Amino acid sequence: MRTPCPKIVILALIAIGLALVACADGRPRETGSPAEEPAAGGTPTASIAGGEPGQGPAVLPAGAAGQISGNSRLTPEEQNTIEIVRKTRNSVVFITNLQYVRDFFYSSSEAVPRGSGSGFVWDEQGHIVTNFHVIDEGDKFMVSFPNQKQIEAALVGRDSSRDIAVLKLKESVPGLTPVTVGTSRDLQVGQKVVAIGNPFGFDHTVTVGIVSALGRSMLGAGDVTIRDMIQTDASINPGNSGGPLLDSSGELIGMNTMIATPSGGSIGVGFALPVDTIRKIVPQIIQFGKVIRPDIGGIQFVRDEVAQRAGFIGAVILEVTQGSRAYQQGLRGLTRDAYGRLLVRDVIVAISGTKIKSYDDLFNALDGYKIGDTVTLTVEREGKTRTVEMQLVGGGGSD
């Protein structure tokens, strides 16, 4: 038998070898293959997609992931908000309004919660500023601090027309942190604001927003319009009333006061009393127990809703005290005719050139004057107009 040709055997072996090499190159490669072995005495290297060759990922020690999710990832805006909260943490308080209720036989009484709200520390003497409607009809007031300590406070005074009240702690509290009082004079629509309060009883809740509008007018708790209010989209809910509205430097620019909502619910547009109004009123309440405003003196006015239903435009005079300067100047209130019907005598329609369409207008216009200023009243009576010079006196204080 003849043996195969050595050349054929060699060619066959070469073909088999090439086939094996082709099979090896065609196998799918695994992703994430292990890093190359380091050279002797060297360090491991790896390639990163899109990175420089030889620059591997940093090796994080245990717990480093938690560190990265901390302050290093906070934006400057977040850091600013946190700093404001830290700065004012001990300046914001929770106020509980208690009312004494007698039992069926009137033999004993018990203090029951009537409502709650927020407030802020005004000075180191323990004065707390809040809204009038937070403490309205209350007999006892408890002030809670962030450390959950409760201290009873006494009512110093209130101004219902501007929805402001001042309490004073009955105990000395070391380390009180008064809020830093700013100004609302130069506020800009769109600037950042932070509201802090106790909505729905959840103490020290923080919301962030912007100044949505300025110069708003809203009917306050005293049935007169509060003007120049700050509108904000920072969430203000029941319980936020009386809390501070702060700017990005942590300064007080307003007091969260009310919500306007068409549905009557708890969610709507928030409004804050401007701090420049608070700065005028609070020191007077602390000093005198009430606000002493410029006033015409000796005159009582018909309620606006009554005057408007009767078709009158202006501040309708109800009664003038005999012997007062207004009485001496000939101003008169309502009178009755021979049939007993009430007749309107004098209606104030302007003050020093500023038109007056209601008592509300007159009340707010007087806020722009000082005690002792002389004003010119334009008065209508039975279709005839005359002017009366009046020097403003101290009065018009709220209860």
Residue 181 is given by DSSP the state: B
CA–CA separation, 358 and 134 (whole Å) = 28
Contacts of 145 (CB under 8 A, 6+ apart): 90, 93, 151, 173
> How many Cα atoms within 13 Å fall on the side-chain side of residue 299?
31
Q: Quick one: which of 95, 98, 99 has its CA closest to 201? A: 95
Q: Checking DSSP bridges between strand 347-351 and strand 354-355, what pairing results, if any? A: antiparallel
CA–CA separation, 135 and 201 (whole Å) = 15
E strand or H helix at 282:
helix 275-288
For 361-384, give one letter per residue: b (16+ CB within 10 A) or e: bbbbbbeebeeeeebebbbbeeee
The answer to whether residues 224 and 365 touch, using CB atoms and an 8 Å cutoff, is no
Q: Which of 118, 127, 133, 361 is catalytic?
A: 133
DSSP string across 185-196:
TT--TT-EEEEE
Pair of tokens at residue 88:
């004012």
Q: Which residue matches tokens 């509290």?
A: 173
Residue 84 exposed, middle or buried by CB count within 10 Å (0-12, 13-18, 19+): buried
Contacts of 394 (CB under 8 A, 6+ apart): 292, 293, 294, 295, 371
Angular region, 387: left φ>0, alpha ψ -120 to 50, beta rest:
beta
Q: What does residue 18 show for φ and ψ, rounded to 5 degrees?
A: -65, -35
Active site residue 163: yes
Q: Which residue matches tokens 């005198």?
A: 288
Active site residue 160: no
Q: Which of 160, 241, 358, 398 is catalytic?
A: 241
Active site residue 241: yes
CA–CA separation, 292 and 41 (whole Å) = 87
Q: Which of 163, 304, 346, 361 is catalytic?
A: 163
Q: How many CB atoms lie under 10 A from the CB of residue 141?
A: 24
> How many Cα atoms within 13 Å fall on the side-chain side of residue 34?
3
Residues labelled catalytic: 133, 163, 241
